[in-house]
């Protein structure tokens, strides 16, 4: 067993050592909260995205895809409320100049301290209304509280700076999370646009385009995979929260008079759970649902639940599921002054559809897969990744690198498998065979094939299974059918 606090360090080290991800702009000292995905990371990320797309678009009859522009009109973000409400409450330590999110500072403090002790301090606070403060202490969440209330909580508990331990903060200030972009090259003649803060708005502003250009009928979903950008301060934790990140979002449009939203909500919960457990192979005991309280839920949402994963730094949101009513389409209809209703072909009723939105951070899925599959004992470190996701599907080794007959035969098998297998196939002749196995175990390669002297005599090779380390010998002509069955390709 590995101590949990150690686990994150080990995963970050392995991710860099084996080419999953590197700190962004590392050569020039780095840009905080950005990451570059290396040869293994990009394969894993792509496999997760392809599986998501297959599961939620190709295998369904009622979802179509979209790929909207990253640069988008400022009016989109005004209508969606992002330019006004989409802000982080930040606070600066006057002593050591650390800048942190006030909600993180407070929530970490609440987690670490006894609820009854904190409630006693709240009771002793005699400046009127304390119900919302008591609720924050009990739920250990401060979402929905004003900047002034956050200031009060920090003051009541005399919360210290996590860096220098002094209690000497500025007032809480709000910073907008959207990245502005200046369009046009002539100064003074530029117009403001934004890098998108979420992919969801692309589905809302293209809702009418999709309806008019395809054969979709309610209920139906529009799905999108792509990058979003948020200018936020984060507490680290690898790729859990970064300035640019990849989202997988679906807006599922329906007529609330014809479709029961509660049933639909439960159906989506089941699909998300199945994708995480059966699709990505995550252990059920590390997942849980958490319903948002009235305070943290957006005012227009009737229900929001998060699928959370037990990361080494605690249970954290992986995937949000929200019933957003028809708030977004209403906002865009009003702001654009264009009719976004559709007409029911049977009843001729005009409908402005409601939506249920499952929204997941793909990079969080990747981090989850790394955490969930990491195993270590005295002998080796292994990523027991589902073969569907493994960055390298198969590695082929010549037993000895200095025997041309073995190398030639290995290369022949490698090229043949490469042409047949969908995914990355590796050929490795460096170092001794034991080191090659260890290197493949660390990136989660399900099968390693070794070409030895017996191969040259009887056209058989050994195949080693990553999880059991057991080896079987099989004929080369049966290799592909053996692998395709095990890899489910
Ligand atoms: Zn400080």
Work out the mean pLDDT of the chain and round it to a whole number.
93
Question: Across residues 397-414, what is the average pLDDT?
Answer: 96
Is 81 among the domain residues?
no
CA-closest candidate to residue 248, choices 69, 36, 64, 52:
52
Is 80 among the domain residues?
no
Number of domains into which the chain is organized: 3
**What is d(CA 141, CA 294) in angstroms, rounded to the nearest whole number?**
12
- Report the separation in Å between the CA atom of 150 and the middle of ligand 1, taken as the mean of its atom positions: 18
- Report the separation in Å between the CA atom of 113 and the middle of ligand 1, taken as the mean of its atom positions: 20
Residue 425 has pLDDT above 60, yes or no: yes
At 300 the pLDDT is: 85
Q: Which two tokens stand for residue 353?
A: 């559809």
Chain-centroid distance, C-alpha 42: 14
- Among 374, 403, 433, which residue terminates a domain? 374
Contact 154, 173 (CB under 8 A): no
Burial class (CB in 10 A: 0-12, 13-18, 19+), 339: exposed
Phi, psi of 241 (to 5 degrees): -140, 115
Residues 121 and 265 in one domain: no
Q: Are strands 424-427 and 220-229 parallel, antiparallel or unpaired?
A: unpaired
- Among 374, 408, 434, which residue terminates a domain? 374
- Report the separation in Å between the CA atom of 65 and the middle of ligand 1, taken as the mean of its atom positions: 47
**What is d(CA 37, CA 367) in angstroms, rounded to the nearest whole number?**
12
Q: Which two tokens stand for residue 112?
A: 């670490």
Is 43 among the domain residues?
yes
Residue 165's alpha-carbon distances to 94, 107, 169, 228, 274, in angstroms, are 12, 16, 11, 35, 44
Q: How confident is the model at residue 4 (pLDDT cuts 50, 70, 90)?
A: low
The reported pTM is 0.86
Residues 170 and 184 in one domain: no
Residues 468 and 354 in one domain: no
**What is d(CA 199, CA 54) in angstroms, rounded to the nearest whole number?**
19
- Report the separation in Å between the CA atom of 98 and the middle of ligand 1, taken as the mean of its atom positions: 6
Residue 390: other Cβ atoms inside 10 A: 27
Residues 205 and 296 in one domain: yes
Residues 190 and 58 in one domain: yes
Dihedral in degrees, nearest 10, Cα atoms 191, 197, 200, 205: -10
- Report the separation in Å between the CA atom of 3 and the middle of ligand 1, taken as the mean of its atom positions: 29
Is 28 among the domain residues?
yes
- Report the separation in Å between the CA atom of 477 and the middle of ligand 1, taken as the mean of its atom positions: 66
- Report the separation in Å between the CA atom of 166 and the middle of ligand 1, taken as the mean of its atom positions: 6
One-letter-per-residue 3-state SS of the chain: CCCHHHHHHHHHHHHHHCCCEEECCHHHCCCCCCEEECHHHHHHHHHHHHHHHHHHHHCCCCEEEECCCCEEEHHHHHHCCHHHHCEEEEEEECCCCCEEEHHHHHHHHHHHCCHHHHHHHHHCCCCCCCHHHHHHHHHCCCCCCCHHHHHHHHHHCCCCCCCCCCCCECCCEEEECCCEEEECCCCCCCEEEEECCCCHHHHHHCHHHHHHHCCCCCCEEEEEEEEEECCCCCCCCHHHCCCEEEEEEEEEEECCCCCCHHHHHHHHHHHHHHHHHHHCCCCHHHEEEEECCCCCCCCCCCEEEEEEEEECCEEEEEEEEEEEECHHHHHHHHHHCCCCCEECCCCCCEECCEEEEEEEEHHHHHHHHHHHHEEECCCCEEECCCCCCCCEEEEEEECCCCCHHHHHHHHHHHHHHHHHCCCEEEECCCCCHHHHHHHHHHHCCCEEEEECHHHHHHCEEEEEECCCCCEEEEEHHHHHHHHHHHHCC
Residue 488 has pLDDT above 80, yes or no: no
Burial class (CB in 10 A: 0-12, 13-18, 19+), 22: middle
Within 8 A by CB and 6+ apart from 482, the residues are: 463, 474
- Report the separation in Å between the CA atom of 308 and the middle of ligand 1, taken as the mean of its atom positions: 31
- Which residue has 């559709």 as its token pair? 342
- Report the separation in Å between the CA atom of 100 and the middle of ligand 1, taken as the mean of its atom positions: 10
- Report the separation in Å between the CA atom of 410 and the middle of ligand 1, taken as the mean of its atom positions: 59
Q: Are strands 424-427 and 392-398 parallel, antiparallel or unpaired?
A: parallel
- Among 130, 147, 176, which residue terminates a domain? 176
CA-closest candidate to residue 242, choices 230, 252, 258:
230
Residues 17 and 162 in one domain: no
Question: Across residues 158-179, what is the average pLDDT?
Answer: 90
Residues 126 and 148 in one domain: yes
At 127 the pLDDT is: 67
Residues 23 and 110 in one domain: no
Question: Across residues 35-60, what is the average pLDDT?
Answer: 98
Residue 296 has pLDDT above 50, yes or no: yes
Q: Which domain holds residue 150?
A: 87-176
Residue 209: other Cβ atoms inside 10 A: 11
Question: Across residues 327-331, what is the average pLDDT?
Answer: 96
Is 126 among the domain residues?
yes
Residue 23 preceded by cis peptide, ω within 30: no
At 151 the pLDDT is: 93
Could you give the percent of the chain with pLDDT greater than 70? 97
- Report the separation in Å between the CA atom of 136 and the middle of ligand 1, taken as the mean of its atom positions: 24
CATH of the domain at 453: 3.40.50.800
Question: Across residues 418-439, what is the average pLDDT?
Answer: 94
Residues 39 and 110 in one domain: no
Is 381 among the domain residues?
no
- Which residue has 């050592």 as its token pair? 17
What sign does the dihedral 229-233-236-240 (CA atoms) show?
negative
Question: Across residues 50-59, what is the average pLDDT?
Answer: 98
- Report the separation in Å between the CA atom of 107 and the middle of ligand 1, taken as the mean of its atom positions: 17
- Report the separation in Å between the CA atom of 238 and the middle of ligand 1, taken as the mean of its atom positions: 23
pLDDT tens-place string over residues 209-219 = 999 999 999 99
Side-chain-side CA neighbours of 308 within 13 Å: the count stands at 16
**What is d(CA 105, CA 80) in angstroms, rounded to the nearest whole number?**
28
- Report the separation in Å between the CA atom of 96 and the middle of ligand 1, taken as the mean of its atom positions: 4
- Report the separation in Å between the CA atom of 171 and the middle of ligand 1, taken as the mean of its atom positions: 14
Is 384 among the domain residues?
no
Residues 138 and 30 in one domain: no
CA-closest candidate to residue 196, choices 232, 243, 230, 240:
230
- Report the separation in Å between the CA atom of 365 and the middle of ligand 1, taken as the mean of its atom positions: 33
What sign does the dihedral 206-216-249-374 (CA atoms) show?
negative
pLDDT tens-place string over residues 241-289 = 999 999 999 999 999 999 999 999 999 999 999 999 999 999 999 999 9
pLDDT tens-place string over residues 440-457 = 999 999 999 999 999 999
- Report the separation in Å between the CA atom of 10 and the middle of ligand 1, taken as the mean of its atom positions: 28
pLDDT tens-place string over residues 96-153 = 888 888 999 999 999 999 999 998 888 887 667 888 888 899 989 888 888 889 999 9
CATH of the domain at 160: 3.30.40.230
CATH of the domain at 199: 3.30.930.10
- Report the separation in Å between the CA atom of 154 and the middle of ligand 1, taken as the mean of its atom positions: 14
Is 406 among the domain residues?
yes
Residues 328 and 205 in one domain: yes
CA-closest candidate to residue 375, choices 262, 467, 256:
467
Residues 193 and 313 in one domain: yes
């Amino acid at each position: 067993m590995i101590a949990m606090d150690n686990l994150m360090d080990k995963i970050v080290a392995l991710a860099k050592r084996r080419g999953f991800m590197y700190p962004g702009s590392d050569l020039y000292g780095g840009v905080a909260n950005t990451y570059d995905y290396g040869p293994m990371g990009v394969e894993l990320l792509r496999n997760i995205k392809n599986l998501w797309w297959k599961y939620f678009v190709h295998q369904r009859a009622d979802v179509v895809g979209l790929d909207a522009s990253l640069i988008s009109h400022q009016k989109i973000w005004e209508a969606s409320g992002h330019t006004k409400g989409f802000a982080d409450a930040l606070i600066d330590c006057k002593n050591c100049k650390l800048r942190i999110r006030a909600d993180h500072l407070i929530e970490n403090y609440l987690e670490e301290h006894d609820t009854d002790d904190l409630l006693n301090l709240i009771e002793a606070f005699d400046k009127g209304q304390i119900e919302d403060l008591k609720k924050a202490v009990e739920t250990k969440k401060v979402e929905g509280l004003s900047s002034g209330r956050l200031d009060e909580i920090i003051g009541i508990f005399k919360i210290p700076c996590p860096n220098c331990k002094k209690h000497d903060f500025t007032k809480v200030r709000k910073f907008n999370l959207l990245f502005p972009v200046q369009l046009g090259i002539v100064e003074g003649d530029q117009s403001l646009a934004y890098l998108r803060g979420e992919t969801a708005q692309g589905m809302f502003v293209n809702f009418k385009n999709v309806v008019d250009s395809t054969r979709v009928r309610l209920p139906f979903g529009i799905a999108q995979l792509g990058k979003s950008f948020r200018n936020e301060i984060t507490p680290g934790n690898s790729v859990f929260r970064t300035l640019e990140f990849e989202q997988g979002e679906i807006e599922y449009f329906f007529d609330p008079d014809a479709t029961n939203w509660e049933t639909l909500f439960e159906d989506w919960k089941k699909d998300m759970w199945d994708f995480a457990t059966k699709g990505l192979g995550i252990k059920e005991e590390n997942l849980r649902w958490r319903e948002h309280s009235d305070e943290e839920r957006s005012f227009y949402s009737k229900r929001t639940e998060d699928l959370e994963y037990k990361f080494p730094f605690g249970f954290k949101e992986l995937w949000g599921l929200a019933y957003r009513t028809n708030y977004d389409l209403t906002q865009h209809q009003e702001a654009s002054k264009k009719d976004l209703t559709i007409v029911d072909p049977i009843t001729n009723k005009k409908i402005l559809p409601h939506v249920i939105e499952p929204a997941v951070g793909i990079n969080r899925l990747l981090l989850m897969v790394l955490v969930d599959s990491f195993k270590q004992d005295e002998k080796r470190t292994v990523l027991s990744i589902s073969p569907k996701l493994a960055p390298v599907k198969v590695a082929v080794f010549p037993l000895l690198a200095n025997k041309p007959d073995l190398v030639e035969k290995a290369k022949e098998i490698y090229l043949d498998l490469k042409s047949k297998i969908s995914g990355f196939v590796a050929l490795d002749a460096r170092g001794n065979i034991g080191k090659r196995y260890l290197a493949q175990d660390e990136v989660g390669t399900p099968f390693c094939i070794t070409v030895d002297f017996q191969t040259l005599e009887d056209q058989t090779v050994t195949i080693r299974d990553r999880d059991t380390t057991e080896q079987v010998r099989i004929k080369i002509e049966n290799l592909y059918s053996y692998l395709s069955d095990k890899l489910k390709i």
